[in-house]
Every structure is written in structure tokens, then in C-alpha cells.
Amino acid sequence: MVNVTYDASASLIVTDNATPNLYNPGDIAWVLASTALVWIMIPGVGYFYAGLLRRKNALSMIYLSMVTLAVVSFQWFFWGFSLTFSGTASRFIGDLKYFGLKGVLGEPSIGSTRIPSIVFCVYQLMFAAITPMIAVGGFAERGALGPIMVFVFIWSTIVYDPIACWTWNSNGWVFVLGGLDFAGGTPVHISSGTAALAISVYLGKRRGYGTEALAYKPHNTSYVVIGTIFLWFGWFGFNGGSALAANLRAAQACIVTNLAASVGGLTWMLWDYRVERKWSAVGFCSGAIAGLVAITPGSGFVGSPAAVLFGVAAGTVCNFATQLKFLVGYDDSLDVFASHAIGGVVGNILTALFAQRSVAGFDGITVIPGGWLDRHWVQLAIHLADSSTGIAYSFVVTTIILWVMHYIPGLRVTVSEETEIVGIDECEMGEFAYDYVGLETELKPSFSRPVADTREPDHGSYSKENV
């Protein structure tokens, strides 16, 4: 039985298994508010992806964002939280101590003794849910929706959970080595971005790849902007909430998060302006997200001046990394690998260089040796090992999952060429993002060609040719 009382300062005294634990309601409130902030990021990814795609595939991405959240919510309850954060975990993966969330309530969390385990559990659920949603971008325009749900459950279990365990669990090998990953450079961004690359390689190129058929612009730039707004807004909880307490370190994380996003957006936009001579909203949004990705691992470790460098580096490197798919020959339709995997590596490297023990100590608890600014030279080697291991593990295991599903009846994630032509929304859902979906251009290109009409104009009606 759990007994809850309050002391004279209105702090919670939670007695679980006869052991009293003291929690500050302000810290609990901040982490729960951050949970809601990260939640809104998940449909934000869906809207961002939907806006970048063709109209015939828009709704499926928004739909997948909500379904992914639902699938991972069950997986996290079932065994995901236990596999990631059980206190008796190995260096690589946890056990089933908290299977079905058994025993997860009032005891101190493994992340921080300042909040109960149940609060930490629901907060980390949002990280577990947004990660496969980022990877799902690799299925854009050519993935079967049913098998994707199965893929999300399996991928979360054998890719995300182990990587998160070795990074954040106090028994994990990266944690033991002294890796500094405040909010998910490797577990969230490198793992998901690399998974999207593996998915793109497995699926192959879309129909019409290399022709004008795929030389389309984002069908709804407003969706891209709205998705970016949701993501930027939620990232304050993503990074700031990772302090797991309402303190100066959380405030510092919010400052550098906003700064890196701003500088990243401006940098990417200026690189695009150099080529296009246009002020691109999509370019700004892409750069802002790249800046947010890069600052994620370092947000609780670096000062504000370093955040400017994070934004410039991410906006530059990720922008040029979008050309990798043309050099190597894979079809990553949403540039997930370039933005998230490459951005995560940039963030990990810069964190190793600019992490400061003084910034980490803003919470009054954390003690680290720092990065190169504090003359802790080995930190870069630790982060390079972490990044390369995350890339290799995610790519190999994701590929294995896809090919095993390929040979199981009903679980193949590829769709037919006809479905790809007509669109995922029509064939897989029978619903659309809008009442009108212009399929004529895709299915009957002749409709878009001007037709000579020698007849006298009839202003009282419209012929098919005139329309």
C-alpha cells in the first residue's frame, strides 16, 4: 500500500514499501507539464511530414503519428519501461522487473530521486513514442499501414529500448563510461534517423524516382509550419523537462533550445537563399528542427554561446547532408537521416567539446568532468563510440526486422505499384486530408494539358476541355 501525506512545506511524503520518500510538488508539476509538451510533438511530426508530401499521402502521416503513440503507449506499459529503466538492468538491456508497470508508483525514479517513478515513467513514454514516429518518415508514400503498426511495436522493443537503456539507465554501458546525453541525441535522433535510412534502402526507390514525377514541392507549407510550431513548442518540455526538476538547469536548457533552433533556422534558410534567391519557409523550418536535434544531447550541459554554434553547425551540415541521397542513391523522401541522424551526431560531437561542469551543476546535484572546454579530452572518444554504435545497431537491427517481416504473410510493409500511384490515403484508408484530392494529374496527365477548342465559346456551361 502507498501512503501519501504532506509535511509543513506542502511537500509530498510518499511511503511505499514502508520507506518514506519526500517529493517536491513543483518538480512533479514541471515534469508532468513537460510530458504534455512532448506529447504535442508527436502529431507535430505527423503534420510536418504530411505537409512535405504529396496531397494523396498526407492523411496517412497524420494518422500514423496518433497510431504510433497508441502502439508505444501499450508497449511501454507492457514491458518497454521495464526493459529500459529497471534498476536491475544489464549494461545493454533491462529485465521484466516492472512488467505491466508492476511496482511503478511511489518509489524514487531511476532518473531522479526528486520525482516518483510513475511520473518519470509517463514522461519517458513520450520519448519512446516520438522516436519511432520520426523513423516512420522512411515509409512515406510507399508503406503499408497495418504492418507499420507491428513494426513500431517490434522496433521499440529491440531497438529503442536497448539504446535508451545503455544511454540513460545507470547500469548502461554509455552511462557508466560517462557519456553525456541530456535528452536523446543517440536514443531518439540517431536511432530514428538511421532506422529511416534502413527503411528507405529496404523499400527501394519510389515510382518515378529521378524524373519530374517526383520533382514536386511540399503540397501544404502551412502544415510544415504548423508541425514546426508544435515541435518547437514541445521541445521546451523535451529538453527543459529532462532536468526532471523545476530548477536553473531546466531554465538553461530552455534558453539554449530556443537559441539553437533560431540560429539553425536562419542558417539553413540563408544557405537555401544562396541557391534559390528565395526566402523559404520550408528551409527555415527544416533548419530550426536541425538546430533542435543538435542541441538535444547538450541542452543540459552547454552554455548559451555554444548554442549559437550548435545552430550554425546543424543548419549547415544537415543542409548539405540532404544531398547524400543523390550521391549514394537511396530514396529518403523526407530527409529523416540527414536531419535527425546527422544532426544527432553533430550534437553529440559538439556536446563532447563544449560541455561544462559548471552548467551541469546548475541543478545543485549533477557533477561531471565536462568536455574539452574543461580539458576532459576523452569525452569526444566516448561520444564517437556512442554515436557509431547507435548508427550501426539501429541500421542492422532495423534491416533484420524489415526482412523478417517481409517473409511473414500479411506483414510485408511494401505496397503495390498501383497503391503507390493512387496514394496511401485512398487505397489504405479510403479517407483524405481534404474533401477534394487532385488525383487527375497523377492518374491522367492528359487532363493537365491544354486542349485546342475550335468551337464557339458557350458561356453558359463548361466543357471538360475548358475545365
Q: Write out the chain's pLDDT in tens, 467 residues.
A: 778 888 888 788 888 777 888 888 999 999 999 999 999 999 999 999 999 998 889 999 999 999 999 999 999 999 999 999 998 999 999 999 999 999 888 888 898 888 999 999 999 999 999 999 999 999 998 999 999 999 999 999 999 999 999 999 999 999 999 999 999 999 999 999 999 999 999 998 888 776 776 767 888 999 999 999 999 999 999 999 999 999 999 999 999 999 999 999 999 999 999 888 899 999 999 999 999 999 999 999 999 999 999 999 999 999 999 999 989 888 888 999 999 999 999 999 999 999 999 999 999 999 999 999 999 999 999 999 999 999 999 999 999 999 999 999 999 999 988 888 888 988 888 888 886 555 555 555 544 444 444 444 444 433 333 33
| Residue 92 grid cell | 545493454
Give burial (CB, 10 Å; 0-12/13-18/19+) of 214: middle
Do residues 321 and 185 touch, judged by C-beta distance below 8 A?
Answer: no
Question: Which distant-in-sequence residues (6+ apart) come within 8 Å of 168 by Cβ?
Answer: 84, 85, 111, 175, 181, 187
d(C-alpha 62, C-alpha 55), whole Å: 12
d(CA 150, CA 64): 12
Cell of 373: 572546454
Question: 94-129 burial by CB neighbour count: b if 16+ within 10 A, else e?
Answer: beebbeebeebebbbbbbbebbbbbbbbbbbbbbbb
Per-position b or e across 256-273, b if 16+ CB within 10 A of its CB = bbbbbbbbbbbbbbbbbe
Question: Of all helices (H) and strands (E), which one includes residue 381?
Answer: helix 378-406
Which of 311, 293, 349 has the alpha carbon at shortest distance from 134? 293
Closest CA to 399 of 238, 202, 116, 166: 202
Between the CA atoms of 342, 347, 350 and 355, what dihedral angle is there, to the nearest 10 degrees?
Answer: -160
Domains and CATH numbers, the chain: 24-419 (1.10.3430.10)
